[in-house]
Amino acid sequence: MRRFLITSLTILTCLSFLQAQQKVETFYDSMRFVKKEIYYILNNDSTQIDGAYQKFHENGVKAINGEFKTGKPVGAFEEYYDSGELLSRTTYVNGVKTGPFEIWSKDGKTIQAGTYKDGMLEGVIEAYYASGKVRTKTTFLKDMPDGPVEEFYTNGNLKQEFSYVKGKQQGLATTYFESGGIESKYNFKDGIINGEYLIYHENGKDRASYYYKAGYKDGAFKNYNNEGRLISEGTYKQGSMNGLNISYYSNGIKKEEFNFKSGAKFGKNTNYYPNGNPEKIENYTKLTKDVTIEEFYEDGTIKVKKAYKDGRPVGTWVSHYNNGKKKTETPYENSRRHGNVRTYSNEGRVSKVEPYVNGTKVGREKTYYVNGKLASETAFKYGKKNGTHFGYYENKKMKEQGSFRNDVKDGKWLYYDEQGKEVKSETFSQGRLMSSSEN
């Protein structure tokens, strides 16, 4: 009788346990065809997952495999790609990530590996190239970068190294060329670059030197070519160029001489040809806004002279041929071409006059032969050829006459020989030849 009672109690206990654990299945779709999860809960409490846990991708392939105990993950949890390959493995102790973890590529190669302690990253975390070689090493303490960091090239050589202290970069940082030589050296203070910043050419010669203050370039700088020759120098202030900045050709002759104020050009700024003559001179009277610009040919002859006010063109812009003769004159008013724009031959004679009103060509454009005699006159309206056109021979006899409409020939056109005799007539309709006396 006693044995019967004990057996009955055991059976009742097992039945009670089975009844307390319910199986749960979730689905991606409302029709419950595409399964998402399978797991078990205790006492109908969804927060008390207990036992095996599985999650699936929408294509039916396993996504996660693990185990819970009274609502907490325990043991190894594995994630999978939707093609079935193992993605990662993480170990839990009483619901907390503890111990080693690893992440793999689809072809089974390690991407990242490290360790958790009490749910936080701890120790050296390594990332890898597809070849299996180490890409980075980062030291963590209580889930925060703390200690040395190293990054490597695919050939295994060190690429850069620096250190964290309580999550902020501190102290010396060094970068390296793939060949192994030092590329740069600089310092961090509380995660911000501060102090001297040195850059080197691969041959070991100095390439540049800067000074940083609170993360901004501040102070003198110099740049050198790979032969060690100075190619530029100047100063920064709070991250912007400030004061005199000079650049040089490889032979030491000045290439540029600029003045800056808070990053904007100010005062006189000059570009030079390799022979030392000015190529361009800018004179600013207002930061980047008001400036007169002179451009020169290599022999020193003036090429262009123009001006801006509040960043807009003003006055009459003049360009020259390299023989010193005037090439063009362009008047501006209210930042637009306004007045007659004149083009000259390299002998100094007017070759074209174009009338503008508020930036639009309006009126009669005239062209001239090199001897100064009128060659043609064409009416413009709305910036296009609209109206009558006359062409002349050098003996002043009519060469052609007709009309334009929106830049194309329209109506009757007549053509003459040098004695003034009509030799041909044509009729156009919106640029299309409709008839000709030669047909």
Q: Is the pLDDT reported for residue 357 higher than 80?
A: yes
> In this structure, is residue 85 part of a structural domain?
yes
* pLDDT band at residue 149 using 50, 70 and 90 as cut-offs: very high
Mean pLDDT of the chain: 94
pLDDT of residue 266 exceeding 70: yes
Query: Left, alpha or beta for 230 (phi > 0: left; psi -120 to 50: alpha)?
Result: beta
Cβ-contact 395, 381 below 8 angstroms: no
Q: Is residue 393 part of a domain?
A: no
The percentage of residues in the chain with a pLDDT greater than 90, rounded to a whole number, is 93
Is the residue at 317 inside a domain? no
Q: Tell me the pLDDT tens digit for each residue of 166-213.
A: 999 999 999 999 999 999 999 999 999 999 999 999 999 999 999 999
Query: Is pLDDT of 284 > 70?
Result: yes
Residue 44 belongs to what domain range? 19-121
Residue 6 has pLDDT above 80, yes or no: no
For residue 34, being part of any structural domain is answered with yes
Domain annotation covers residue 134: no
Could you tell me if residue 73 is inside a domain?
A: yes
Tens-place pLDDT, residues 227-252:
999 999 999 999 999 999 999 999 99
**pTM for the predicted model, two decimal places:** 0.78
Phi, psi for 369 (deg, rounded to 5): -75, 170
Residue 151 belongs to some domain of the structure:
no
- Best CA proximity match to 335, nearest among 307, 361, 363, 362: 307
Predicted confidence (pLDDT) per residue in 81-114, tens digit: 999 999 999 999 999 999 999 999 999 999 999 9
Strands (E), 238-325: 240-241, 243-248, 254-261, 264-265, 267-272, 278-286, 290-296, 302-309, 312-320
Counting residues of the chain whose pLDDT is more than 70, the rounded percentage is 95
Return the number of other C-beta atoms located less than 10 Å from residue 332's C-beta. 22
Confidence grade of residue 439 (pLDDT, cut at 50, 70, 90): low
388 Cβ neighbours under 8 A, 6+ residues apart: 378, 379, 401, 402, 403
**CATH number of the structural domain spanning residue 36:** 3.90.930.1
Residue 28 pLDDT > 50, yes or no?
yes
In this predicted structure, the answer to whether residue 13 has a pLDDT above a threshold of 70 is: no
In a domain, 81, yes or no: yes
Distance CA 360, CA 375 (A): 23
End-to-end CA distance of the chain: 132
The total number of structural domains in the chain stands at 1
Q: What is the pLDDT of residues 68-83, one digit of tens each?
A: 999 999 999 999 999 9
Q: 14 pLDDT exceeds 60?
A: no
Q: With a cut of 50, say whether residue 62 has pLDDT above it.
A: yes
Using DSSP, state whether 3 is helix, strand or coil: helix
